[in-house]
Amino acid sequence: MYGLNIQSSEQDYVESIKYYSGTYWQQVEDTSIKECFCTARFVAFAVNPTDLFTFWEYDKKFDGKLYIRLFDVTNIDNFFDGKFNWYRDIFVGAYCGRYRINGLAPSANFVLQLGYFNESKFVRLLQSNFVRMPNNAISTNTTIKMATKVFDKFEKKEVKIEEIIHFAFADYKEPSQTSMGVI
């Protein structure tokens, strides 16, 4: 039924198989999987500080041209009230696909919408999750917090968190500068 060569007992089954050879493995079981699922979906995640990967599917038949609108929502708390820093449109065409958006700013926040243009007005069909891009540099913020956690055998509890101003590891050196070579 499923392309499986099934025997009732493990030992019989093991013995019934002749041996492995490259293509045999590929013939054993159906491994076709779907690329589209007839389900509305729009998901994005950061791949690195400047690149974001997204996949989407609009679940209804759609003949128009589809675009992704990428909103920069860094430090924006009220995106749903129409606030954002900037946006840019990317033509994607297919109702179901995947795309990598390059050249974004590290540490920035983004949200994406899938939609089409109706008389030059963008009509949203789907919206993605929010994405925070990773940092890519040492912070210049030297106001740091120190926390103390008390551990004992049976429980652990937090004790205090204090804030220290301008007390950072400013003398950090790149690794190659700290070692003195060979004996």
Partner 1 sequence: MSGYINLVLHAHLPFVRHPEFEDFLEEDWFYEACLETYMPLLSMFERLYNDNVPFKLTMSITPTLAAMMKDGYLMGKLERKIYKLKELIGKEKKRKINTPFYESILMYEKWIHTNQEVLEKYDFDLTKGFKRFYKSGQLELITCNATHGFLPFMQALPKLVEAQVKVGVDSFEQTFGFKPSGIWLAECGYYRGVEEILAKNNIEYFFGETHAIMYADEMPKYGVYAPMYTPSLVSCFARDPESSKQVWSAKEGYPGDFDYREFYRDIGFDENYDYIKPYLHLDGQRRFVGLKYYRITSDSEDLGNKEPYNPAWAQNKIASHAANFLFNRQKQFEHLNSIMDRKPIINAMFDCELFGHWWWEGISFLEEIFRQAHKIKDFGVEFISAKDYLRKFPTNQMSNLCESSWGYKGYGDVWCEGSNEWIYRPLFEAGIKMIEKATLYKNTRDKKIKRLLNQMARELLLAQSSDWAFIMKTGTMVDYAIKRTKLHLKRFDTLLEFLEKQAVDKTFLETVEFRDKIFPKISFKVYAL
Cα–Cα distances (Å) from 40 to 35, 61, 134, in that order, read 13, 11, 27
Q: Is 149 in the site for partner 1 (CB under 8 A)?
A: yes
Give the binding range for partner 1 (CB under 8 A) out of 63-71, 81-89, 114-122, 151-159: 151-159
Beta strands in 11-155 (DSSP E): 41-46, 52-57, 66-72, 86-93, 96-101, 109-118, 121-127, 131-132, 144-151
Nearer to partner 1, 29 or 89 (CB): 29
Q: How many CA atoms lie within 13 A of 162 on its CB side?
A: 5
3-state secondary structure at position 25: helix
Least CB distance to partner 1 at residue 121 (A) = 29
Query: Interface with partner 1 by CB under 8 A: which range of 62-70, 78-86, 111-119, 163-171?
Result: 163-171
In the chain, what's the furthest Cα-to-Cα distance?
A: 74
The nearer residue to partner 1, 81 or 158, going by C-beta atoms, is 158
Out of 2, 77, 84, 114, the only residue in the binding site for partner 1 (CB under 8 A) is: 2
- Report the site for partner 1 in 20-49 (rule: CB under 8 A): 20-22, 25-26, 28-35, 37, 39, 41, 43-49
